[in-house]
Structure 1
């Protein structure tokens, strides 16, 4: 798995998914946002980490009985124990929240093992309990039935589709209150650096707009005075 540096990780924790979406769009990436996933708690920390994936297919009833969980190599159970420290478990549940992708016990195990978070385009059972963990977790909506009723865990750490976004193992996952976005691994450092700078400028712009300044010439910075004012602001604010 590609190594996500502490520098890049720390920068990304200060950057919004919206800003990253703009930076990716400039490079031609249009579908990196995982659609229709939501944080379980509005107070959970920003999610940053490399993707470790789990893929479900439609369950075949003769192969997906309750006793499959006795098998220590069962892909869902194995994914929980194999997801690396600092990584994000990203689950392809086929955008189907009629049955849970996992529940509070498994998500708690991820948290205790030092994983960064979990994302599914399906649902979680025990969602209120997961929300109380303070652990970054995203899903479509709560779902009580066990995954076995509809989903068959089939593959760990291969390419998946999650909420219509392509996710490759090692891609960098960023999640905030707006949702979750996937940064191709080879672009992570570059995107973090660029969006860190973008965020500084947007913070300056926000302050100016609150003061009553027009966005004309300010955003985008088409007036030379804007860049001069920004330089003064950066120096004064240590940005």
Structure 2
């Protein structure tokens, strides 16, 4: 076996066609991460759920900075209760064959890059299941710049961790004990966090409501879907305030005339400036087809 095996990671993520890290982990572009950091949990959830990705969210966490949103690329780990023969074999293998130092949790944190988020299944262990404390959280802060950790288990040194403002940590509980009697059986492998599944390189979006894991190959599509919804809402609020349209018109399929009104606003209004990388040809063409086909249903595009 190998920890953090590039061949395995590539096999688990075949739909990702973009750049990868040397270990095979999908490298979603920083620009896409920034865009996803401006969307809501529900805006990310919708396009994933509709495409069959219905095990991507978990909300049953405590949060070090409850009002802070984090977004980053997942670095995953799976821990199990200690079994001496397995534990000794894997710890020795990591030290002697892969040149790793310290305990299992330190191995993972030593690999972190900018914009990474540690995602760890600690099998919900809190007593002696404290994956990070003040020192390792500081290391996460230094390496990731704005990332953090999602831990299905415990942490310690909460007061110290709370003072680290550039990251966020989602965890199940706190305990003063150090990590003990656990063994890492996988690093950058498929990982279960509560009722959610995370693959290495998934985009981790942590919000006040919980965490959603966005598959790397759907990250930009999710950003586009959310941004289009956001800017259409901005336009809708404007037109509702000036009573140009009714709520029924705004919430139903738009006519070509409404789309043209929107596009004129989109190109000229300062409120639309952050969204001008978006294109609307498909939506306008769909409106034309609906009009050609006759009366449309009241279903929003």
Give me the TM-score of the superposition, normalised by structure 1: 0.82
Please show how residues 217-232 of structure 1 align to structure 2 within 5 Å: 217-219=249-251, 221-222=252-253, 224=255, 227=259, 230-231=262-263
The match for 2:132 among 82, 92, 102 is: 102
Partners of 1:108 and 1:157 in 2: CA distance: 21
CA distances 1:186-225 after superposition (whole Å, capped 9, x unpaired): 1112222222212222344566778999754433x33548
Aligned residue number for residue 165 of structure 1: 196
Once the two structures are superposed, what CA deviation does each residue of 1:41-65 show, in whole Å capped at 9, x if it has no partner? Answer: 1343x31211111211123478879
Question: What's the counterpart of residue 136 of structure 1?
Answer: 168
Q: Separation in 1 of the partners of 2:161 and 2:219?
A: 29
Q: Which runs of 5+ in 2 are unaligned?
A: 1-24, 96-100, 274-301
Q: Could you say what secondary structure the match of 2:126 adopts?
A: coil
2:112/2:144 contact within 8 Å kept: no
Q: Distance in 2 between matches of 1:107 and 1:205?
A: 43
Higher Cα Rg, which structure: 2
The answer to whether the 8 A contact 2:117-2:144 is kept is no
**TM-score normalized by the length of structure 2:** 0.67
Q: Is 1:17 matched with 2:41? A: yes
- Taking structure 1 as reference, are residues 214 and 127 closer, same or farther at Cα in structure 2, changes over 3 Å only? farther
- The within-5 A match list for 1:31-70 is 31-44=55-68, 46-60=69-83
Tell me what 1:30 maps to: 54
Match of 1:5 among 29, 37, 41: 29
Distance 1:80 1:204, change over 3 A: same
Distance, in Å, in 2 between the alignment partners of 1:157 and 1:100 is 20
Q: How many residues align structurally?
A: 232
In structure 2, do the counterparts of structure 1 residues 203 and 64 end up closer, same or farther at CA, with 3 Å as the change threshold?
farther
Per the TM alignment, residue 5 of structure 1 is displaced from its structure 2 partner at its CA by: 1.0
Partner residue of 2:157?
A: 126
- Bigger RCO (CA 8 Å, 6+ sep): 1
1:36 Cα shift? 1.0
For 1:123 and 1:177, the matched residues in 2 are separated by 19
Indicate conservation of the 8 Å contact 2:67/2:207, yes or no.
Answer: no
1:9 and 1:49 in contact (8 A); partners too: yes
Aligned-residue RMSD, C-alpha: 3.0
Which residue in the other structure is 2:122 paired with? Answer: 93
In 1, distance between residues paired with 2:75 and 2:226? 24
- Equivalent position SS for 2:110: helix
Counterparts of 1:205 and 1:119 in 2: how far apart (Å)? 36
Determine helix, strand or coil for the equivalent of 1:238: helix
1:83 and 1:131 mapped to 2: Cα distance?
A: 20
Counterpart in the other structure of 2:292: none
Q: CA deviation at 1:38?
A: 3.8
Structure 2: how far apart are the matches of 1:152 and 1:204? 53
Post-superposition CA distance 1:16-54 (Å, at most 9, x none): 12100011112121110124124311343x312111112
